[in-house]
């Protein structure tokens, strides 16, 4: 099937936004509480593609709480990613991080969105086989009312070949062995057989629907690098990892990404 540019996201490319933010936004981010850091300050070689600050996500619009395209993490999680990055570089890869700390107000907005069954702006790309209410996405474990991201030591990420760059998404269709058709969102990262935030069993770490050995090997490259540096995997999503020894295992934070003054600085 002919590939199509993912048109409604072109207005807010996270790759472009992150480059601009890195140039304009320094380590003096006053919105950060003690114990949290900007990933760009800890390792600027790690590519950030902050999907929830753009329209390239399952809601199809920038999400509440993401006022700047920056990945924020606990210092411990960020330091662990530095080790992952170093390990991957030896294999010819680097990290691309889609999400880190996620404000509780963002998670609350997921709940509100799930009850609005008229809002299906991004269904074809992120939950194409869902039948019935979007509330099922909570029941199936793809999104949660209490997210590990809100504790600051969980990351959504993938890998990219060194020298390659993240680009605007190009959409193609794939047919799975069970007959389901999914959209593959090519953003320049390594092909894992399914895309980030696809709410479908094909996204499970060891999904039997992913049979091509190159996809299996690519997923394992990411998984093993993360595990070697102290992260544990989530079986339901190949991109989702949590620092095993996270510093705030029972604390859910609600600070937003950038305060008003800092948000305005991003627009200069």
Q: Which domains does the chain have, with CATH numbers?
A: 4-266 (3.30.1380.10)
pLDDT of residue 31: 80
pLDDT of 118-134, one tens digit each? 999 999 999 999 999 99
pLDDT of residue 259: 62
Distance CA 211, CA 25 (A): 43
**Quick one: average pLDDT of 31-58?**
96
Out of 233, 237, 246, 262, pick the active-site residue: 237
Distance CA 111, CA 96 (A): 27
pLDDT of residue 3: 42
Q: State the pLDDT confidence band at 27, using cuts at 50, 70 and 90.
A: very low
Which range is least confidently modeled, 34-38, 121-125, 159-163, 258-262? 258-262
Tell me the three state secondary structure of residue 29. coil
Q: How many residues does the chain have?
A: 268
Q: What is the CA angle 105-22-30, rounded to 5? A: 50
Please tell me the pTM assigned to this model: 0.88
pLDDT of residue 208: 96
Report the share of the chain in percent with pLDDT over 70. Answer: 85
pLDDT of residue 13: 52
Distance CA 164, CA 189 (A): 8
Mean pLDDT of the chain: 88
pLDDT of residue 6: 38
Res. 51: pLDDT tops 90: yes
Tell me the three state secondary structure of residue 82. helix
A 10 A CB-CB count for 115 gives 10
A 10 A CB-CB count for 10 gives 13
Report the share of the chain in percent with pLDDT over 90. Answer: 81
**Quick one: average pLDDT of 192-216?**
97
Strand pairing report for 93-99 and 170-175 = unpaired
Which range is least confidently modeled, 5-19, 61-75, 153-167, 177-191? 5-19
Tell me the three state secondary structure of residue 126. helix
Based on DSSP, count helices (H) and strands (E) in the chain, helices before strands.
Answer: 8, 10
Could you tell me which residue, 266 or 247, shows the higher pLDDT?
247
pLDDT of residue 258: 84
Residue 227's contacts (CB-CB under 8 Å, 6 or more residues apart) are 233
Per the CB < 8 A criterion, the answer to whether 231 and 205 are in contact is no
Res. 268: pLDDT tops 90: no
Per the CB < 8 A criterion, the answer to whether 63 and 106 are in contact is yes
pLDDT of residue 35: 96
Distance CA 234, CA 205 (A): 7
**Quick one: average pLDDT of 191-206?**
97
Axis-axis angle for helices 75-89, 213-228 (nearest 10): 130
Task: Tell which residue, 163, 181, 180, 164, has the closest CA to residue 172.
Answer: 181
Residue 138's contacts (CB-CB under 8 Å, 6 or more residues apart) are 111, 114, 144, 145
Task: Tell which residue, 72, 82, 15, 69, has the closest CA to residue 47.
Answer: 15
Res. 264: pLDDT tops 80: no
Which range is least confidently modeled, 2-6, 104-108, 122-126, 143-147? 2-6
Per the CB < 8 A criterion, the answer to whether 245 and 227 are in contact is no
**Quick one: average pLDDT of 131-141?**
92
User: Is 237 considered catalytic here?
Assistant: yes
Distance CA 224, CA 239 (A): 12
């Amino acid at each position: 099937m002919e590939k199509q540019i993912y048109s409604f996201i072109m207005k807010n490319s996270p790759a472009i936004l992150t480059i601009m933010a890195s140039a304009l936004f320094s380590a003096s981010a006053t919105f950060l509480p003690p114990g949290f850091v900007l990933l760009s300050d800890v390792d600027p070689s790690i590519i950030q593609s902050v999907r929830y600050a753009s329209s390239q996500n399952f809601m199809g619009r920038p999400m509440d709480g993401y006022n700047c395209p920056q990945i924020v993490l606990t210092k411990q999680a960020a330091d662990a990613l530095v080790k992952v990055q170093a390990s991957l570089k030896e294999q010819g890869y680097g990290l691309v991080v889609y999400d880190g700390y996620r404000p509780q107000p963002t998670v609350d907005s997921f709940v509100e969105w799930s009850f609005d069954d008229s809002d299906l702006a991004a269904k074809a790309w992120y939950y194409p086989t869902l039948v019935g209410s979007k509330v099922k996405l909570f029941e199936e474990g793809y999104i949660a009312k209490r997210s590990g991201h809100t504790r600051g030591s969980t990351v959504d990420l993938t890998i990219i070949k060194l020298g390659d760059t993240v680009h605007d998404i190009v959409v193609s269709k794939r047919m799975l062995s069970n007959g389901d058709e999914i959209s593959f969102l090519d953003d320049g990262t390594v092909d894992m057989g399914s895309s980030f935030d696809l709410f479908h069993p094909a996204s499970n770490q060891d999904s039997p629907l992913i049979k091509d050995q190159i996809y299996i090997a690519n997923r394992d490259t990411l998984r093993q690098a993360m595990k070697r540096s102290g992260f544990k995997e989530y079986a339901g999503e190949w991109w989702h990892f949590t620092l095993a020894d996270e510093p705030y295992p029972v604390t859910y934070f609600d600070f937003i990404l950038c305060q008003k003054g800092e948000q305005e600085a991003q627009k200069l």
